[in-house]
Structure 1
Amino acid sequence: MTSHRTPLFCDAALALRIERVESELISKGSAAARFRRGDDKGFVIPLAGGIASYADENSPLNKVAGLGFGGIPAEAALDEIERAYFALGAPVQVELAHLVDPALGQLLSARGYRLEGFENVLGLAISSDMERVPPAGVEIRSSGEDEFDEWIDLVAAAFAAPDTQGAASHEEFPREVIAAAMRDFVSAAGVARYSAWRDGELAGGASVRISDGVAQLTGAATAFTHRRNGVQTALLAVRLADAAAAGCDVAVVTTQPGSKSQQNVQRQGFDLLYTRAVLVKQP
């Protein structure tokens, strides 16, 4: 990155596009979870520009996303959503972007929602000259079905390990729950997988989903024995180059505030776009 690079500015229109793509990802993953189980337990319900999703017990896809970009929901609509979650014994978790009307936060607080955390959305403007060149000794390729289980194990383990730097996450998920959610993403949401190979071993894995000009970086991990060899940088470079070739103009990633993950992506040129407040109402 050059010192004169202009930081990416996020207005309401860009935030709306990112939140719409996020809601689409969650909706498709949630539907895939129901298909995988072969039952009708769960739901995806449109709500004020976003969606309310219940995918599976303790799933990271159980959330309200994109809320507020279609206005403030009616009390009756919130009643319906809360009944749907509570009937399954689940809390209602709303991830609320700070660019929506503050009156929505006041409404949720009055209904008993409590602030439990934050998450940051960072973005990078994609240019057409991004190169798909890994460092010497590292090979990046599309991840095939023959290594799917090994790839899932590697990436799920990274998600399950908490980032101890910065603000603590308000939630943790068992490795098997994360693996199931990632399988659903890959099977139904158009998530592309990449693997990094070094010295004949699977050294890292990553994924990306492309929609509406947005490249969602949906996960990345490096095996412990292969760290500090440029694997993560190579996985990022290849995904950005492929996103540029697909016509994307922005890449986005979500991190915990002040975390090592945020520090790493900012070193790669990502800018902080906006923050989501995590508001939860218990049954």
Structure 2
Amino acid sequence: MAEEMIRMGIVYSYMAHDGDVPAATGILHVSGDVGGLYHAATLPEFRRRGAQGAIMGRRIQDGIDLGCHWFSTETFEDKPESPTNPSYRNMLRKGFELAYLRPIYELQPKENLKYEFRTEAR
């Protein structure tokens, strides 16, 4: 599916390198005049070197060049009592503003809990 979205020209993939070594990644998803910045990641040894800021800036500029007038992105909330989210700070530096907060749910399976995975349609 990802390959098809890339072929269709609605998803663009980015990677920053340190020499020949991949250091950070991110994607731009274009839907009409909206650009979504998603799936950003940086290897721990390359953090705090500006790779994500550079990739974010490039994705925004490419989105503008592709006709985007709006951009969205998401990350975990950066709380004043524990400001430890560099992604949030990168977003603020690039001009993003918090629009809303939404709940995020997680499942922490118990040791003895078993799941039944279905491989065929019902």
* Selected match of 2:19 from 185, 199, 205: 199
Evaluate the alpha carbon distance shift between residue 204 and residue 246 of structure 1 in structure 2; reply closer, same or farther with a 3 A threshold.
Answer: same
5+ residue gaps, structure 1, are 1-183
Distance 1:227 1:257 in 2: 19
Evaluate the alpha carbon distance shift between residue 225 and residue 257 of structure 1 in structure 2; reply closer, same or farther with a 3 A threshold.
Answer: closer
Number of paired residues?
A: 95
The correspondence of residues 266-277 of structure 1 with structure 2, limited to 5 A, is 266-277=92-103
1:264 aligns with 2:85: no
1:238 aligns with 2:58: yes
Amino acid at match of 1:238: R
8 Å contact kept, 2:75–2:88: yes
Q: Deviations over 1:19-44 (max 9, x none)?
A: xxxxxxxxxxxxxxxxxxxxxxxxxx
Structure with more helix by fraction: 1
Amino acid at match of 2:3: S
* SS of structure 1 residue aligned to 2:98: strand
RMSD in angstroms over aligned alpha carbons? 2.0
The correspondence of residues 72-221 of structure 1 with structure 2, limited to 5 A, is 184=1, 186-189=2-5, 190-221=10-41
Q: Percent identity?
A: 29
Amino acid at match of 1:194: Y
Distance 2:23 2:103 in 1: 34
- Give the greater-gyration-radius structure (CA): 1
1:229 aligns with 2:55: no
5+ residue gaps, structure 2, are 80-84, 106-122
Evaluate the alpha carbon distance shift between residue 234 and residue 278 of structure 1 in structure 2; reply closer, same or farther with a 3 A threshold.
Answer: closer
Evaluate the alpha carbon distance shift between residue 267 and residue 213 of structure 1 in structure 2; reply closer, same or farther with a 3 A threshold.
Answer: same
Distance 2:19 2:93 in 1: 27
- TM-score, length of structure 1 as denominator length: 0.31
Evaluate the alpha carbon distance shift between residue 222 and residue 278 of structure 1 in structure 2; reply closer, same or farther with a 3 A threshold.
Answer: closer
